[in-house]
Amino acid sequence: MQIKKVGVLGAGNIGIGAVTDLVLHGMSAVVVDVSDEILQSARDAVLSNVRFAPMLQKSLPKISKQEALDRMQLTTNIQDLISCDFVIENVTEDWGIKQAVYEALDRTVPPEVCFGANTSCISITKIASATRRPANVVGIHLMNPVHLKPTVEVIRGFHTSDRTIETLLQLFAQLNKESIIVEDLPGFVSNRISHLFMNEAAFVLQDHVATAAQIDAVFKKCFGHTMGPLETADLIGLDTVVRSLDVLFESYQDSKYRCCPLMRKLVHAGHVGRKAGRGFYDYPKE
Amino acid sequence: MTSESAKRDGDVKGTIKKFLLRSINLPDVEDDEDLFESGMVNSLFAVQLTTFIEKTFGIEIGADDLDIKNFRSLNAATHFVKSKSAATAS
């Protein structure tokens, strides 16, 4: 079945990236968030992404602003997801919020529709338990910036069915994305490991072993990574990274996931990374 | 700096260089150094640089101009701004 209309619940960084990708690949997106202000800001960000996409990746099409707008429906009403073929959820990484959202989704969307839970660290099996369709819930870990990343980590929950996996693979085929399917434990593969890097990099900075630029340079120039751990944390948002570390710590009860005090302090100071203009680095306004 | 003053004082390169150095946190950059291949910035920086150029120099950058080669180095970006400004003025 060709997927034509996808619901995107949560218009933060990843939600914006998902909508950009859908729109660029000719699909319609119904974007749900809690305020018109957030939705307008997401709309502007998607239009900017769409505009610059072909410059950053030549295989992406040039589409007009009007075409992009025609493929986006912005709404604060979750009921508008009722006609979607698939729903991608990326609300805040907070179990209380996720639980309430999934209960509402489950009541609203037809039972055969599958949900892609885009979570950093929360177990997919736990998320699925908030619904009456655990077989239709699958984990997807979209990477930032979504429309420029060719591969997605897909997480099979305890009850996730083969049909759900097939539906998701169909969606990703339409988005020209490859999937790596892994099993479900908090943080999965990517975040369980990457958050240790980011957290320890913050400890190294806190201990005055090196500057932020030096730490990132070691990863980029010695390891050949595209980005260093601190600039990655800034791009994700330090608030999100701290929340994920807290989930990992809570889930494994392992002190290796205790959050670096410097990172938590930056979050309290409002220096949450690129989106705030300040994090481990400063981002001058254009 | 307003778009008019940025263009009038002829220091297009200086203005772009100042923005670059402020963004990449390095003491200097060579005029022809490839910003992206050198690893100083990733390709996403092209978006920041393009937006800065549009706002600072009052240039409208169309879809066909959005090519990474126009923003690959300090010289490339300077040449792009000057050629667009000349085209707008004529």
**Which CATH number do you get for residue B21?**
1.10.1200.10
Structure confidence at residue B56 (pLDDT): 93
Interface test with A, best of B20, B24, B43 (most A CBs within 10 A): B43
Quick one: closest CA in B to A221, which residue? B39
Q: What is the pLDDT of residue A176?
A: 96
Angle between helices A238-252 and A190-206 (to 10 degrees): 110
Query: In the predicted model, is pLDDT for residue A286 greater than 80?
Result: no
Q: How far is B20 from chain A (nearest CA, A)?
A: 10
Does residue B2 register a pLDDT over 60? no
Give, in degrees to the nearest 5, the angle at Cα A272 between A266 and A274.
135
- Radius of gyration for chain B, computed over Cα atoms and rounded to the nearest angstrom: 12
- For residue B50, list chain A residues with Cβ-Cβ distance below 8 A: 52, 55
Give the nearest partner residue to B25 out of A54, A213, A220, using CB atoms: A213
Chain A 141-180, residues with CB within 8 Å of chain B CB atoms: 145
The fold of the A192-276 domain, in CATH, is N-(1-d-carboxylethyl)-l-norvaline Dehydrogenase; domain 2 (1.10.1040)
Q: What is the mean pLDDT of residues A94-102?
A: 94
In B, which residues are within 8 Å of A286 by CB distance? 48, 51-52, 55-56
Burial state string for B36-73 with b = 16 or more CB within 10 A and e = fewer than 16: eeeebeebbbbbbbbebbbebbebebeeeebbeebbbb
Chain B residues interacting with chain A (CB cutoff of 8 angstroms): 19, 22-23, 25, 39, 42-44, 46-48, 50-52, 55-56, 63, 66-68
Q: How many domains does chain B have?
A: 1
Residue A60 pLDDT class (50, 70, 90 cuts): very high
CB contact under 8 A, B22 and A226: no
Higher-pLDDT residue of A63, B2: A63
Q: Which pLDDT tens digit goes with each residue over A145-188?
A: 899 999 999 999 999 999 999 999 999 999 999 999 999 999 99
Closest-CA distance, A284 to chain B, in angstroms, reads 7
Instruction: For B27-73, write each residue's pLDDT tens digit.
Output: 888 999 998 887 777 778 889 899 999 999 999 898 889 999 999 99
Tell me, what's the ipTM?
0.77
Residues of A annotated as part of the active site: 141
Under a CB-based contact definition with an 8 Å cutoff, are residues A237 and A195 in contact? no
pLDDT at position A285 is: 66
Say yes or no: A213 contacts chain B, CB-CB below 8 A.
Answer: yes
CATH class of A5-183: alpha beta
More confident residue, B10 or A126: A126
Instruction: Say what the pLDDT of residue A76 is.
Output: 97
pLDDT band for position A264 (cuts 50, 70, 90)? very high
pTM, to two decimals: 0.84
Q: Is B31 exposed, middle or buried (0-12, 13-18, 19+ CB in 10 A)?
A: exposed
Give me chain A's average pLDDT, please.
Answer: 95
Residue A125 pLDDT class (50, 70, 90 cuts): very high
On the question of pLDDT at B8 being above 70, the answer is: no
Closest residue in chain B to residue A50, using alpha carbons only: B63
B53 close to B1: Cβ distance less than 8 angstroms: no
**Residue B90: pLDDT over 70:** no
Q: Which amino acid is at A234?
A: D
Give the domain extent around B78. Answer: 3-89
Task: Name every chain A residue with its beta carbon within 8 A of the beta carbon of B67.
Answer: 55
Q: What is the pLDDT of residues A5-34, one digit of tens each?
A: 999 999 998 999 999 999 999 999 999 999
Q: Where are the domains of chain A?
A: 5-183, 192-276
Q: Give B9's pLDDT tier (boundaries 50, 70, 90).
A: very low
pLDDT tens by residue, A208-237: 999 999 999 999 989 999 889 999 999 889
CA distance, residue A231 to nearest chain B CA (Å): 11
Please name the residues in contact with A245: beta carbons below 8 A apart, sequence gap of 6 or more.
Answer: A195, A199, A257, A258, A259, A263
Residue type, A202: A
